[in-house]
Structures are given as C-alpha cells and as structure tokens.
Chains A and B, each alone.
Chain A
C-alpha cells in the first residue's frame, strides 16, 4: 500500500507515489548540485525536467489509471543518467566551447590527463581562476584556498602575487565542474553573531556547541584568569600573553570568516552547506587516504607543473621557429599562448595598479574619516546652531562614511564571489553619498558666511617707559594646561592650536608683532584684536572678547603665548596684532620665542580687508634675538660691527634653560654657565658666573647698571659672584660677556 500524491511538474499534474516523489526530488536536487556552477544551469535542468515530464506523460498514457511508481522513476533516471554517470561519460568535454577559449586550450595535456590535473577554473574565478583551480585539484572549497592565498600574500610580502601570476600564465584555463560536495557557508538560520560557528559545525558535521566553545574559550579563560589573577600572578602574565594572543587570533579568524564566507541563502546552498555523505568518519577516511596520497599527489603536481612549464617553453621555441617557417596551426596555438601570457601580464599589471589606486583611495578615505573624527571635538568651536551641526554630522557619516562602508562591502562581495542581482544597494549608497555632498557644500556655505567680514578692536596698552632706552620682548606663560592635538603634532613643541583639559577652551597663537617708529620719544604699545563674522558688528563683538594681557617688567615686555577662545565665543579666525612703537635712538630686541606665533587669515568674503594695517604702514621687519636701534630710516642693527655669522653662532651656541617657577635662567655653553635668578619681584637679579669667558668689567656695564656697585665680576672659574642690577643691564652683561 502506497500513498499517491499529485504534483505539478513542468506545468502538468502528475499522480505519483510518495516514495517515487522522494526519489524524484533527490534526483533533481542532485542535478542542482551537479550543475551548481554551470552557466546555463537553470536551462539545463529545465530541459531535463521537461524531458522527464514527457516520459511521465508517455507512461501515464499507456496506463491511464495508474501513477508514476518507484520503478518508473528508476528507469527514467537511469535512461537520463545520474550525475555520477555524467562524470564517467563526457565530463571533460565540458571544456571551453566558447570560441574565445578555443585557442587557449593548451596542448595535449588537456586530453592525455583529463582528470586530477591543475587547471585554472574558468567557471568560478575572482581574478584568473587559479585559486579555484587549485581547490578543484585538491577537492576542497575554493573559499579556503582564497583565504590561504590572501594570507600568503599579506604574510609573505607579496610572494603570493608572484606565485599567482606565474600560475596564471602557466596553467591552462578550463571550464570545470564544481567537484566539492560540501561548501563552507554561514548559516543564517542558526546564528549568534554571524552564523560562522554554525556553518563550521555543518561543514564538519559536529555539534554547533563545539566551534562556539572553541571561539569563546579564550574569553572564559580570560575571565577565570582575572578572577584567579592572584594565584596566577607568579606565572608572570601567562594567561594574558598566551590566551590573549590566542583569543586575538581567533577573533581575527572569526572576522575574516564572517567577511569571506557567504550566507547559505538558497535551498541549493543550504544543501551544499550540509553536503552529502560527509561525516567525521568519512573525513577521517579521506584524510588517511590523502595522507598516503599526498606524497604522490605532490610529486604529480610538481611534474604536472614542470611539464606545463616545459610545454610552454617548447611552445615559445616553436613560436620562434614558426616565424621562420610560417607554419600552420601549431604556430598559431603557440602564438596565442604567448599572447595569452602577455595578456595575463598586462592584466595582472593593470589589476595591480588599479588595486594600488583603490587601496590608496581607501587609505585616503580612512585618513579623512579619522581626521574627521579627530577634528570633531573642535566642531563646538566652529559650528553654531542646529543646521551647522546637522550638516557636520551629515558630512561625517554620509560623505566620509558611506564610501568606506561601500568599499568594504564591495571587497567582501568580490572575495566571497557573491553577485547581487539588483543594484538597490548601489543606488542607495549613491544617493546617500549625494546627500553627503549636499551636506558638505551646505556646511561649507554656512561656515564661510561666518568668516565673511572682518571687525577689529584697538587697544592702547599703557606701559612705563623702560629704563636704559632698551626694550626686550619675550613670551610668558599662561595659566592652565593646553594639549596639542595629535594630528598636527609634527613637532612635539607645537601645542597650537591646543585644547584645555576639559576641552572647553582652545588656545590660539595667531599673533603678529609689528615694530614701528614712534612719533614722539616714548615707547608705545598698541594691540589690535581682529575677528571675523557674518557682519562687521558681530566680528567686532567677537574680537572684543579676546583677552591678550601684556605684562611689563621694567624693560621686559611679556606677551602671553597665546589667547584662548571659549566654545561660546567660537573660532572666528581671531587674531592679535601687537604694535610696538620704538622712539628714534632707542633699542629693541625680540626674543626668538616670538617666532612661535603663527599668523593665518581666513577670508571668505569677496571684499579683501586691505586697510588692515594702514595705521602702521611704516612697520619694519625684524629678526629675533637681535638688538635693533630705531633710526629715522627704520630699524638698524645695534651691533652691526660684529661679524654677523659670528654673532649668530654665539646665539646658537649659548643655550638657555628656564626654570619657570623660580624665575631662574641658565645659559650654558661647553662648560660655562651663567645662572640668573630674579629676586624681589622682578627688580633684583642675581647672576652666578661659572665661566672662562672674559667679562668686560668696564664702563659700559657700570654705565648701564643702575646698581653698579653691587656688581662684581670674577672671570675665574669656580668662583661665584652675585650681581645686582636691572634686567636690561644683566642682558647687556651677557651680551658683552659673550662678545
């Protein structure tokens, strides 16, 4: 007694025994698997099913009351043939029929060694089908070979590329059937993260918990190790080192598998995932068989390869002979072989170049997005209002993020050989990126509006006239610590622009010093604070918020090393222009620390702000660490009698160390030191000399020193003397001393 069911087969209703139906199903499934990688798969299977339907109808005609039985199925199947029988029959005529490949069939080997030889697989390839051909030869999953090749390439400094190109040239192409019964897929039906573990468990026919435990083991061991950390302490970090790196490797492995291994989506793929006739026992058998066969196989592969190479070499020789003899088909074939090799080389070359360009673009994008993320904390200083912030986010995510994600997805698809049927993803990414562009342009427009106009505030700084007709300009410190931003950190001294610890204020040093001639016989100092904004009034307001306090200690003018802006006042290209008016006949010296000021202007308005420095048009250029005297014609070097080079040398040779807290300075050169200590709140200076340099204890010092009697100079080494005097005379002393 058998159950009969009706099925719709190729548009006909067929009554069929249930067991026969099972047989039929198995048979068509086996066809699907067999033709899985065939180009016209659907059509072939459809043709065969059509034929089966025809035979069914024939049978039902002869026996109108009956149904399709097991026996019918068996006879039909054996007349059409099972996939195993196809193999035995015409498998290898599956080579290239397309005319483009007709010429590239290499030599005799295609016929004399029909099976188990190395070929490139034309049917399943990413680049040249080398990996897939190797996989076919070894009867393993091409994905596995690709991963191995990728590892060799990355680990072996590109030797994989060379190997690949050689194989590409030497191995002949061939359209090959997919000969692996089981493929590694990720299982979408049973997944925790990416379905990798359950795919592996299907592949090896083991419980899904086994790979899961293996992959998670390092975490548990790590946790246990932490709990019993004390007990393991004397193992000197054993669990960390071993299981840490072990766990890291496993995580990387998982990620790579996740990326490279495709999901088993269709029924066929799920069947391929579970496979047939493979369990641990058969793997064991296969492995044992393989182990015995490996040597022979390797030898065979070696000789295969050698033979190919020889053949190829022969063909090259034949080719050269053929030039002379103009001989027929052999020469043509050999010629196409050389053409093939050249073509492959070119293709490899261009792929390499294209790959490099793509890689460069990817790295560039990465750099962009990282700098984007890095600059992001600064956005609070620039951006104002909802729209600017929204556009900034849009720029970061859509303009920078989308191409990276798209590239990664494309790479994964290329590696895993997944081809999407529709382009929705592409359209989606494309339109998102266009939105990203809109964000960039809008953001640029919005921001540039805030930098359109310039406003400024002038401020006169009242100073006491320095004694001694000399002025020194130096840079002092600011309260609070500011941290340079890493991505600008080309030299470590540079902490501009810097952020305060709580990222609440930013330190800028867009400061410029101008030296001009005073109209009277007094020193004057002005500062002009500039900023930008949507309108001059706003810019002026922003400028007035800048605080740049200049201190004076007798003849020493101390500028702050920068000024801060807060998140509220925003960054609007604030600048500070310090104008020092020097009366004729008096001197000025600007410390080299002033060189650390940076000046840059952002001007997005049409109108150039030309009248910026009109008031002080007669400003003069200066060099740091040089004494100048103001004359009617401008600044003049005070010690121009000196050999310039010589003075510069000395300047560079004498090194200054500052002990900022205690107001102590130390100049040192070779074994000589000059210690300067500022006492009594800036009016008294102690100097210790420990030098072999001859000091001119002459009238000049006496003249300049306010308290010359307290100054004693001892040129001998080891003896230390104290000097009292104003700062300016001390500097002179050193100047004189080093002269």
Chain B
C-alpha cells in the first residue's frame, strides 16, 4: 500500500470539512482560505480549490457575492447557504465521531494493519 496515497486520502476527506468550516466562520475569499489553511500547515493548490468551490456552489452548499478590490479585479466572497450549514453540521458530527474513534483506538494501542480502509462502513 502506497503511503502517499493513503495520506492524500486522509487529507482529502478532511479538506472539504476544513474549507467549509473556514467559510462558516466568515465570508471568505479563496486566497484567504489558502492562507488560513497554509497557516495550519494544510497545503492546497488554488487550481484545486477553485473547482472544489465551484462544485460546492453548484451543489447549493455555497453562495458568493462580488466585492470590489483595490488591488485588482473584483473578488468572489463565499458564504454558506442554509443547505451548506446543514451539510457542515453532518460533516462535523461525523468528524467528531471519527476523531473520537481514532483517538480511542490509537490510545488503546491497537495495531492497525490496514488503516482506514474500512473508514465508512
């Protein structure tokens, strides 16, 4: 099993959650999101973020408004819709469950031979 592959999957699952939680806190511009995630040492490319945001927006989880900027073209500021907030809540519950479970299992010192393959079964 490829370690990078596993790592990227682990990251991937939480990326959306993180992005939504940043947007939930306050209206956000994509560069802000990148910056904030970078601060938390979670790197994401803009080329990955934009399509992701568009898809979330097309799924009615996000909405945006144009904001004039002094430094260049107008920017899109994203915020959560009601549906998005609900979606976020469910993700949050799942995350807490998972975090607890992982915590408990790893604390008990159980050996994970096949980590996370049965994540959501």
Contact = CB atoms under 8 A, between A and B. Distances in A.
Does B associate with A?
A: yes
Interface of A: 10-12, 31, 35, 38-40, 43-44, 47-48, 50-51, 53-54, 57-58, 61, 79-83, 85-86, 88-90, 92-94, 97-99, 107-108, 111-112, 114, 330
Nearest to A101: B59
A31 B54 CA distance: 15
Interface string B65-81: 00001011101100000
Given A53-B72, A57-B71, A86-B45, 5 more contacts: A48-B50, A50-B75, A86-B48, A90-B44, A108-B120
Contacts of A90: 12, 15, 44, 48, 52
Contacts of A11: 73
Interface string B49-63: 011111111111100
Contacts, number: 108
B96 interface: no
B59 A85 contact: no
Query: At the interface, is chain B mostly helix, strand, loop or mixed?
Result: helix
A97 B62 CA distance: 11
Contacts of A38: 51
B51 A44 contact: yes
A44 B46 CA distance: 11
B61 to A, nearest CB: 7
B8 interface: yes
A78 to B, nearest CB: 9
Interface string B1-43: 0000100110011011000000000000011000000000000
Task: Determine chain A's interface SS by DSSP, over half rule.
Answer: helix
B109 interface: no
A93 B121 contact: no
A93 B73 contact: no
A719 B5 CA distance: 107
29 contacts: A38-B51, A40-B54, A44-B50, A47-B53, A47-B76, A48-B47, A50-B75, A50-B76, A51-B46, A51-B50, A54-B75, A57-B71, A61-B71, A80-B45, A81-B45, A82-B47, A83-B47, A86-B47, A88-B8, A89-B8, A90-B12, A92-B9, A93-B12, A97-B56, A98-B59, A99-B60, A107-B121, A108-B117, A330-B121
A92 B13 CA distance: 10
Nearest to A97: B59
Which of B13, B31, B44, B51 neighbours the largest number of chain A CB atoms within 10 Å of its CB? Answer: B51
B113 interface: no
B56 A85 contact: no
B62 to A, nearest CB: 10
B118 interface: yes
A108 B121 contact: yes
Task: List 9 A-B pairs, minimum CB-CB distance, nearest first.
Answer: A81-B45, A81-B47, A54-B72, A97-B59, A40-B54, A57-B72, A80-B46, A47-B50, A90-B48
Most A C-beta atoms less than 10 A away, residue of B47, B57, B75, B120? B47
B9 A111 contact: yes
Residue among B55, B56, B57, B116 having the largest count of chain A Cβ atoms under 10 Å: B55
B27 to A, nearest CB: 16
Given A48-B46, A89-B48, A108 B119 contact: yes
A542 to B, nearest CB: 72
A93 B52 contact: yes
Contacts of A50: 73, 75-76
